[in-house]
């Protein structure tokens, strides 16, 4: 049996028309019901999004574990991007790069960025800090692949983060590992290898976020600019 809010109130006037008060109350009840429905739908969507996030987080965590174990034995790391931080330049070296080099990353104010890099070299700096140092899209894409607090390279190279076959990850090495799901969820970590089979890599820094997919790689874009 359906509930009819109008029937709960006496009718006044001729021809069976409901009073203004009855109509007002009926509309109020309808608005409350609509608001409750909208709130329920929003809560359901939020719960669904959170479930997808947690599911992606567990999946990518498993990929990180497998990649860390694979790096110890010099096996393929699958879909996880693995970069030795020692193969990059440190922030002080980056601060001394010529303005023309920084300009290749789309940096407009190279003097400001150089000053920031020099100041950041004196304190702990994460990849996220380096990314946020300049708004240029190419800088945000390439900077953490070429520059690191743990960098030991003496010069900048577009392939500084490339891993050569035969370089087994030894005790104490620091690497940047990045795993991405098909829907854009990304688990990015800086890890130090411990040599322990049950916990091969200790996480120094971690960022879990959702990013767009597709596009050219940093090395491809830089190669085009350097050859252009």
Q: How far is 143 from 145, CA to CA, in rounded Å?
A: 5
Domain ranges of the chain: 48-227
Contact 86, 163 (CB under 8 A): no
Query: For residue range 77-118, what is the model confidence (pLDDT) as tens digits?
Result: 678 888 899 999 999 999 999 999 999 999 999 999 999 999
DSSP lists the bridge partners of residue 209 as 186
Query: For residue range 21-67, what is the model confidence (pLDDT) as tens digits?
Result: 777 777 777 777 777 877 877 777 777 778 788 888 878 888 887 88
Contact 160, 145 (CB under 8 A): yes
Provide the percentage of residues in the chain whose pLDDT is more than 90. Answer: 39
Query: For residue range 145-196, what is the model confidence (pLDDT) as tens digits?
Result: 999 999 999 988 655 444 444 455 578 999 999 999 888 899 999 999 988 8
Please count the other Cβ atoms lying within 10 Å of the Cβ belonging to residue 182. 8
Query: For residue range 208-228, what is the model confidence (pLDDT) as tens digits?
Result: 998 775 556 777 777 776 665
The answer on pLDDT for 130 being more than 60 is yes
Long-range pairs for 202-206 at CB < 8 Å and ≥24 separation? 204/174, 205/126, 205/127
Higher pLDDT, 17 or 207: 207
Contact 137, 106 (CB under 8 A): yes
Question: pLDDT category, 143, cuts 50, 70, 90?
Answer: very high
Q: In this predicted structure, what is the pLDDT of residue 93?
A: 96
Q: What is the mean pLDDT of residues 198-205?
A: 89
What pTM was computed for the model? Answer: 0.69
């Amino acid at each position: 049996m359906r509930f009819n809010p109008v029937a709960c109130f006496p009718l006044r006037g001729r021809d069976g028309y409901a009073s203004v008060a009855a109509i007002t109350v009926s509309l109020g009840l309808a608005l409350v019901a609509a608001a409750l429905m909208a709130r329920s739908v929003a809560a359901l969507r939020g719960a669904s999004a959170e479930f997808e996030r947690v599911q992606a987080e567990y999946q990518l965590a498993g990929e990180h574990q497998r990649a860390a174990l694979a790096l110890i034995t010099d096996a393929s790391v699958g879909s996880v991007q693995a970069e030795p931080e020692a193969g990059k330049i440190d922030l002080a070296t980056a601060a001394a790069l010529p303005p023309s080099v920084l300009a290749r990353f789309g940096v407009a104010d190279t003097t400001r960025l150089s000053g920031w890099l020099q100041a950041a070299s004196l304190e702990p700096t994460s990849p996220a800090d380096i990314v946020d140092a300049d708004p240029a899209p190419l800088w945000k894409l390439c900077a953490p692949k070429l520059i690191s607090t743990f960098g030991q390279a003496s010069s900048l190279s577009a392939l500084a983060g490339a891993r050569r076959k035969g370089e087994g990850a030894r005790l104490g090495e620091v690497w940047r590992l990045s795993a991405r799901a098909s829907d854009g969820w990304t688990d990015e970590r800086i890890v130090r290898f411990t040599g322990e089979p049950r916990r091969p890599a200790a996480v120094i820094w971690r960022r879990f976020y959702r990013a767009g997919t597709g596009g050219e790689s940093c090395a491809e874009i830089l190669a085009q600019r350097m050859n252009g």
